[in-house]
Structure 1
Amino acid sequence: MFSDERKAMIVAYLSEHRRLTVAEVAAHLDVSETTIRRDLHELEHQGLLRRTHGGAVGLEVAGFEPSVQEKSHRFAPEKSRIATRAQQFIRPGDTVLLDSGTTTLEIAKALPDIPITVVTNSLAISAEMAQREKVSVVMLGGELRKTTGAFVGPFAERMLGQVNVDKLFLGMNGIDIDRGLTTVNAIEASTKKAMIASAREVFLVTDFSKFDQVYLVTVGDLGVIDTLICDSPLPPEYHALCVDKGIEVVIAQEQPEGEQNE
């Protein structure tokens, strides 16, 4: 196996598992631990991971975030299925709040040109919605986080305190049984809380990779949402928690040709 091929596999492994140990990756790739340590050193120098004692973590786990462009390539088919299912909940006349994020951007792309009002803190989503003749767009102000393309902070929260939306489609970095809904940045977490407070109905849109992940700041307990839309069946403990809290679970599974979601 060539060095570049091996390092690409390490990055892919880390993208899926979020953290790794030298021993497990050496066994997985059938190479020496010395080779893996050298690869991790080079990958850290390239800005692709952060080394830890005995292994490495992805930059997101280490407190950094990939850009929107980098995230958009992750689990793209899954996000597309989630978006297709999510837009079916939006009706003419609705006022819809779309959180910033790559999954919510896919929802914006999937929306037909119908008479609705879209409120968003996302540059990319506002640009997408501006192409719809029948859609009214309300852009939240605030400080622009260039990593996520989101306007956040006190100005955005002040505007959110003055609006009432029918449906919020919310993205999240991590979902955990004990720690709830978490994200990387404290200011963005505060803005997400204000979004939840402004909405009559909250939809969490997430792919399978977000479960059992915990980040720096807790946004809220899983009970703050009304509906969870995911690309695959939930782990049993999460499904049980949703049932206990009265959360509707919608699975946007890939359908055989000719079949539709129920």
Structure 2
Amino acid sequence: MKIKTTRLERMRELFLQMPYISLSELAALFPEVSEMTLRRDIDALEAEGAVIRVRGGARSMKFITATYEDRYEARLSLDSGAKGRIAAAAIRLFDTGMSIFIDSGTTTLRIADYLPNDRFLITTSSPDLARELHRTPLAVINIVGGMYNRENHTLSGQGAIKFISDMTFDLAIMAPSGYTKEGGFSSGNYSECEFKKKVIERSRHVAMLITSSKWGLKQPYTFASPDDISTIITDAELPQPFAQDFDISKTSVIIA
């Protein structure tokens, strides 16, 4: 037991210094134990909130909290081409007169580049998107209330939940921070997670916009499972383990 405690303490120290450590790297650092034991150690660290498991290793929550959910401006240019294709594909789900919720995010923000000037009732948690939609004067734009997250440029919290509680959306365009088989679609912010759950609850059709770079990434708070999602829109073929999840849930997949 003492040896295990010492090993876990050493692993905690490593994850405070490094944003990601692969299972093979851990095996080289701790050759006296099996990979199965190291996987259990990662599970223990994940349970206490120190890391999150990803394919092939684990990521440090210290670095995720500090860097992944912030640096919004830097993420605007990341995978820009893929985000544009995904947003353009999402527009095909829009129809005149629809009530549509559009989530905050750097992929959903690109919806403004392709949205036709037509009669839509659009509700969003993204002030940035609302500002961009001034180019579509026929659309009615609602911005939810709530607390503003400066890092993600989004609104959430009880004010936002109350705003949409009596609304029904024909279509919700959602954006996750990551997806794993164990954790489903996740977010790095509890308040945003709870708000996203309410949006999905109030929506007839839910489309998840996700770049291929987010498969296998897990944030602390799960807001949806494959069964909650009507359509996935992504930029490349899904990795096979994830594709099976959406075959089972009968979720349609669009490759942009």
Same fold by TM-score, threshold 0.5 exceeded? yes
Q: Does residue 61 of the first structure (1) align with residue 35 of the second (2)?
A: no
Aligned partner of 1:220: which letter?
A: A
Please give the secondary structure, in 2, of the residue aligned with 1:202. Answer: strand
- The separation in 2 between residues aligned to 1:110 and 1:60, in whole angstroms, is 34
Distance 1:232 1:223, change over 3 A: same
Which residue pairs with 1:239 in the alignment? 243
Q: CA RMSD in A?
A: 2.1
TM-aligned CA deviation for residue 109 of structure 1: 2.1
Residue correspondences, number: 205
Structure 2 unaligned residues grouped into runs of 5+ = 1-18, 26-57
Whether contact under 8 Å (1:182, 1:217) holds in the other structure is: yes
Whether contact under 8 Å (2:65, 2:188) holds in the other structure is: no
Q: Give the TM-score taking structure 2 as reference length.
A: 0.75
User: Percent identity among equivalent residues?
Assistant: 24
Which residue pairs with 1:142 in the alignment? 146
Aligned partner of 1:69: which letter?
A: E
Which residue pairs with 2:92 in the alignment? 88
Q: Does residue 182 of the first structure (1) align with residue 183 of the second (2)?
A: no
Which residue pairs with 2:161 in the alignment? 157
- The separation in 2 between residues aligned to 1:59 and 1:95, in whole angstroms, is 39
- CA offsets, 1:168-223, max 9 Å, x none? 00000010111111111101101111111111100000000111111111112221
Q: Does residue 19 of the first structure (1) align with residue 20 of the second (2)?
A: yes
TM-aligned CA deviation for residue 66 of structure 1: 2.3
Aligned partner of 2:190: which letter?
A: A
Q: Which runs of 4+ in 1 moved over 4 A?
A: 55-60
Which residue pairs with 2:197 in the alignment? 193
Which residue pairs with 1:218 in the alignment? 222
Structure 1 unaligned residues grouped into runs of 5+ = 1-17, 25-54, 253-262
Distance 1:124 1:60, change over 3 A: farther
- The separation in 1 between residues aligned to 2:224 and 2:194, in whole angstroms, is 10
Distance 1:158 1:69, change over 3 A: same
Please give the secondary structure, in 1, of the residue aligned with 2:163. Answer: helix
TM-aligned CA deviation for residue 20 of structure 1: 4.5
